[in-house]
Amino acid sequence: MPPRRRSTRYGKYIGGPDPLAPPVDLGEALDAVAEDVMAGYSPEHALREYLRKGGSDREGLDDLAGRVQRRRQELMSRHSLDSTLEEIRRLLDTAVTEERKQLARDIRMDDTDRAFREMLLENLPDSTPAALRELENYDWQSTTAREAAERIQDLLGREMLDQRFEGMKEALENATDADRAAAQEMLRALNELLDKHRRGQATQADFEEFMAAFGQYFPGNPRTIDELIESLAERAAAMSRMLNSMTPEQREELMQLSAQAFGSPELMEQLDRLDENLQALRPGEDWTGEEGEGSGQGLGLAALSDIAELDALAEQLAQTYSGSSLDDIDLEALARQLGPSAAVSAQALSEIEQALRRDGYLTRAPDGELRLSPQAIRRLGKSLLEDAARQLSGRHGQRDTRNIGTSGEATGATREWQFGDLEPWDVSRSVANAVHRTVAEGGDASRGVRLQVGDIEVVETEARTQAAVALLADTSFSMAAEGRWLPMKRMALALHHLVSTRFRGDALELITFSRLAQTVDIAELTALPSIREQGTNLHHALILANRFFRRHPTMQPVLLVVTDGEPTAHLLPDGQSWFWYPPDAETLEATVTELDRVARRGTKVTFFRLGDEPGLARFLDALARRADARVVAPDPSDLAPAVVSEYLAGHGRKGRAGAGETEDLL
């Protein structure tokens, strides 16, 4: 028996995650997080900031919270709920206060029951509607508290009736049992009149008799039964549309609240009967909401449920409570209140947060702190190096960034490829070799040729000299105060990525200096916060650079110094730092002496001067003359391309590029 063929059926997309949506792009998020980390914030704070602000084409938590607040204000304004909620809040506070007093003085109550009740009252939600839901089935022990709760139910019952009958809430304010009975009698008489009208038996006299008895409930003063039906049907249809827009759970909750309003099942029966009559008499009304109309007027009671949901969403989006997570956000509620796009935005933010952790860009250190991982730092360095390359190519013409860091300088000659060669192919000679071989073998080169290993020739290059590169970065407070902190870090990351990926044979040492100097790794430099510490101890930094060069005696020493101030500190024999401003002669002498030791190694030295301070310019120019060094004065935004260009210009070359000479970097 042949196997049954499986068929696939396609239907309308009805919501949920978009199956065709591209995966979330972590690039923008990671760049934003890294930018804040380099500015001195913790990765945890930086991630929260990105989630709050969102991306260039994605709403953040603050945007969604703002929309939630505007939606809440709209509901409050549309349904004039300010006074109602204010009264309910006052009654609720009274009920809770009196109940706590009763629990405290009731010595006969079981301790476990007392503790449970006190805990419930203590942990009520701040949202008034949400608190009402928590206390819906609470058994009040205080008589005063129970009376306040009943008044709340009475107020909600009047809200519910006001949805159907304009002015009913005010008419029933401070109502007695007789008043409530009269309202139910009105509903019964109204349904009898509508039943009679449906059968075609109602007369104008019947209508006038009804209005004479119950006209106070209809301030619109309809003149005919049709006018009465029109006004009632419009409000009832609005109520029906609202109920259809709610989830089954919300509908059930609202109906239970309505049924409890006066503790009167008869009231609900009469209202259900009224809806049935009105739908039969006015079938043309939009009873389902499919025509796209608004929710109608007088839906105060339903709005309370929406407000409770909006209050919960506001708390979830704020993420300020202990243990908060984006997983806490009720996406279904968000979609109900703000539309599907809001839920998509919140889901995307959650996926970004999870992906940054899952894909290894953010890691948890042993001390519990969140940190940028080596993978994230590599990606950031790659991005910053590409930015530096683009800046250089924009100034010097378009070039291919893939050629940065090739194995040597081309000599102009070629040779046959050998196993292990990393030199670039000479494509023209390789293809020519294949053509000659094909013709010699009797083939037709016009019909195409196939390259073989023996055809390939590579560009012959001179071996590059390995370099020991010491990057000295000024981290005194003036760097942060003058807006040079982030450019310095971007430069260090770009250079680190270039050396670690394109010049793996080189050694790079990162040395920071302020009051004292220290050797740091790239992760420490990336996360280094700015500290209000005076002192520019270039002397100590040069000592550390000399130690680094001594550890790599066979490599070409390269010293790159980035600073925005004259030396104002030096290291004393006991290891302490001596600081004085303006710079004193002892500090300058110690700095110059250590630079002389560096220069005697044949070190290629470049100073990168940030700022236009005349004293610094004169000092660095004097140092450059003494050490046969160069001084480059880039704008902070151009610091990374300047350092990368200078590193490549002097790397493995017999001569030094001139100040205005363009290197073929990119």
Please write the tens of the pLDDT for every residue from 489-505. 889 988 998 888 888 88
Give the pTM. 0.53
DSSP state of 326: G
Position 658 scores a pLDDT of: 36
pLDDT tens, position by position, 51-85: 888 877 778 888 898 898 888 888 777 655 556 66
48 to each of 41, 62, 355, 489, how far by Cα in Å? 11, 11, 14, 22
574 to each of 168, 512, 571, 577, 593, how far by Cα in Å? 89, 20, 8, 9, 18
Closest CA to 643 of 385, 265, 379, 278: 385
* 288: confidence class by pLDDT, cuts 50, 70, 90: low
pLDDT tens, position by position, 197-239: 888 898 999 998 988 888 877 777 888 998 888 877 777 776 6
Give 423 or 188, the one with higher predicted confidence.
188
Percent of the chain at pLDDT exceeding 70: 75
Q: CA angle at residue 488 from 530 to 522, to 5 degrees?
A: 80
pLDDT tens, position by position, 438-489: 888 888 888 888 888 888 888 876 555 788 999 999 999 888 888 888 889 8
Position 475 scores a pLDDT of: 92
Tell me the mean pLDDT in the region 590-607.
93
pLDDT tens, position by position, 11-52: 554 455 555 555 566 777 777 787 777 776 767 777 888 888
Domain residue spans in the chain?
26-77+307-372, 408-463, 467-650
* 264: confidence class by pLDDT, cuts 50, 70, 90: low
pLDDT tens, position by position, 515-563: 999 999 988 888 788 777 888 999 999 999 999 999 999 999 999 999 9
pLDDT at residue 597 is higher than 90: yes
| Per-chain mean pLDDT for the chain | 78
Measured between alpha carbons, how far is 384 from 400 in angstroms, rounded to an integer? 16
pLDDT at residue 266 is higher than 80: no
Position 367 scores a pLDDT of: 66
Position 454 scores a pLDDT of: 86
Give 19 or 147, the one with higher predicted confidence.
147
Q: CA angle at residue 159 from 153 to 161, to 5 degrees?
A: 105
Rounded to the nearest angstrom, the gap between the alpha carbon of residue 6 and the centroid of all alpha carbons in its chain is 44
Position 592 scores a pLDDT of: 93
* 401: confidence class by pLDDT, cuts 50, 70, 90: very low
Give 148 or 10, the one with higher predicted confidence.
148
pLDDT at residue 160 is higher than 60: no
Give 236 or 169, the one with higher predicted confidence.
236
Give 367 or 552, the one with higher predicted confidence.
552
Residue whose tokens read 């978009």: 18
CB 70 within 8 A of CB 78: no
Tell me the mean pLDDT in the region 359-365.
73
* 651: confidence class by pLDDT, cuts 50, 70, 90: low
pLDDT at residue 631 is higher than 90: yes
Closest CA to 24 of 270, 319, 351: 351
pLDDT at residue 152 is higher than 90: no
Position 238 scores a pLDDT of: 65
pLDDT tens, position by position, 85-121: 677 788 889 989 998 998 888 888 888 888 999 899 9
Percent of the chain at pLDDT exceeding 90: 16
Highest averaged pLDDT of the listed ranges 90-94, 279-283, 330-334, 545-549: 545-549
CB 562 within 8 A of CB 470: no
Position 241 scores a pLDDT of: 64
Position 548 scores a pLDDT of: 96
Q: Which numeric CATH code is attached to 467-650?
A: 3.40.50.410
pLDDT at residue 390 is higher than 60: yes
Give 24 or 380, the one with higher predicted confidence.
380
Closest CA to 402 of 502, 507, 506: 502
pLDDT at residue 406 is higher than 70: no
In DSSP terms, which residues pair with 560 in a beta bridge? Answer: 471, 606
Position 589 scores a pLDDT of: 93
Give the DSSP H/E element, type plus range, for residue 197: helix 177-198
pLDDT at residue 294 is higher than 50: no
